[in-house]
Amino acid sequence: MLQVNELNQYYGGSHILRGLSFEANIGEVTCLLGRNGVGKTTLLKCLMGLIPAKSGTLHWQGNLINGRKPHQRVQAGIAYVPQGREIFPRLTVEENLLMGLARFSGAEARSVPENIYELFPVLRQMKDRRGGDLSGGQQQQLAIGRALACRPQLLILDEPTEGIQPSVIKEIGAVIKQLAARGDMAILLVEQFYDFAAELADSYLVMSRGSIVQRGAGSAMEQDGVRGLVAI
C-alpha cells in the first residue's frame, strides 16, 4: 500500500501541493483527476523522488521512502510511466524493454519477459524497430511495457491516453484491467479523460489548486458529479 500523508511542495513562493493525504491499495486502480496545472505531475515526481517533498510523509509497504533516491524506489517495486512517455528513440523496441530490467542482474536481465509481449502483441511485431519510428500509441504501449518489465507492485501512470488514437486507448484500458485483476499491484492512474478513468477506477481523487477536493468509490463517480469537476 502507498500512503501519502500531509504532503506539501513549493515552487519558489507558490504552494503547489497543499497537504495531500491519500492511499493507493494493492489490487486496485486509484484514479487521480484534475485539470491542467493543479499539481498532478508534481505529486508523481514527489512519489518517485525526482523532486523532494517539502514536508509530509510517503510510505510504501509500511516503509518511509522520503529519503530514497528514484532508483531505490524502483528497486522497492515502484514504476513510473511519465507524461510524454520518454522512451529512447534511437534504441529498438526490444532494447527499450530491456532497459526496464535494470533492477535485475544476470539471466533475469537478458531477455524481455514473455508476458510483456502477451500484453502488448504489437511490441513483439516491432521489437527490432527503433522506438522513435513507432506511432504515439505504440510508444505509449512501449513505455508501459518497459515499466512492467521491472515487475512493479506499484505502477504510476501519468495521462497515458494523451494524444493517442481511440483504438489504442481501448487496448491500454484492457491491459490496466488485466493488471488490476491479478491482485498483486497497486495502480495510480493520473488522467484527464473522464470516461477512461471512470471505466477503470476502484477509487477516485479529484485535485484542484494543489489540494484533493473530493474522493470516493469509482462506481460513484457519475453520481458524485466528478465529470463536471474535471471538464475543461
User: Does 207 reside within a domain?
Assistant: no
User: Does 204 reside within a domain?
Assistant: no
Q: Which helix (H) or strand (E) holds 194?
A: helix 194-200
pLDDT of residue 215: 96
Nearest to 223 by CA among 196, 204, 200: 204
User: Does 165 reside within a domain?
Assistant: yes
Q: Are residues 102 and 166 in the same domain?
A: yes
Q: Are residues 58 and 141 in the same domain?
A: no
Q: Are residues 55 and 121 in the same domain?
A: no
Long-range contacts, stretch 165-173, CB < 8 angstroms, 24+ apart: 165/135, 165/136, 165/137, 167/137, 168/137, 168/138, 168/140, 168/141, 169/137, 169/193, 169/196, 171/120, 171/137, 171/141, 172/140, 172/141, 172/144, 173/199, 173/200
Q: Are residues 138 and 56 in the same domain?
A: no
pLDDT of residue 232: 57
> How many Å apart are CA 16 and CA 101, to the nearest integer?
33
Please give the chain's pLDDT, 232 residues, in tens: 999 999 999 888 789 899 999 999 999 999 999 988 888 999 999 999 999 899 999 999 999 999 999 999 999 999 999 887 788 999 999 999 988 887 777 777 778 889 999 999 999 999 999 999 999 999 999 999 999 998 999 999 999 998 889 999 999 999 999 999 999 999 999 998 899 999 999 999 999 989 999 999 999 999 999 998 887 5
User: Does 4 reside within a domain?
Assistant: yes
Nearest to 176 by CA among 161, 192, 194: 161
User: Does 113 reside within a domain?
Assistant: yes
Number of domains in the chain: 2
Q: Are residues 127 and 181 in the same domain?
A: yes
Residue 193's CB is within 10 A of a number of other CB atoms, namely: 17
pLDDT of residue 220: 95
Q: Are residues 177 and 99 in the same domain?
A: yes
pLDDT of residue 21: 96
pLDDT of residue 48: 94
Q: Are residues 165 and 96 in the same domain?
A: yes
Q: Are residues 15 and 51 in the same domain?
A: yes
User: Does 140 reside within a domain?
Assistant: yes
Q: Is 59 exposed, middle or buried (0-12, 13-18, 19+ CB in 10 A)?
A: middle
Task: Residue 53: give the domain boundaries.
Answer: 1-23+39-66
The conformational region for residue 25 under phi > 0 = left, psi -120 to 50 = alpha, else beta, is beta
Nearest to 1 by CA among 53, 74, 78, 54: 78
Cβ atoms of 192 and 160 within 8 Å: the answer is no
User: Does 84 reside within a domain?
Assistant: no
pTM comes to: 0.93
User: Does 216 reside within a domain?
Assistant: no
Q: Which of 166, 186, 206 is the last residue of a domain?
A: 186
Length of the chain as a residue count:
232
CATH code: domain of residue 138? 3.40.50.300
Which amino acid is present at 39? G
DSSP bridge pairs for 106:
none
Q: Which helix (H) or strand (E) holds 144?
A: helix 136-148
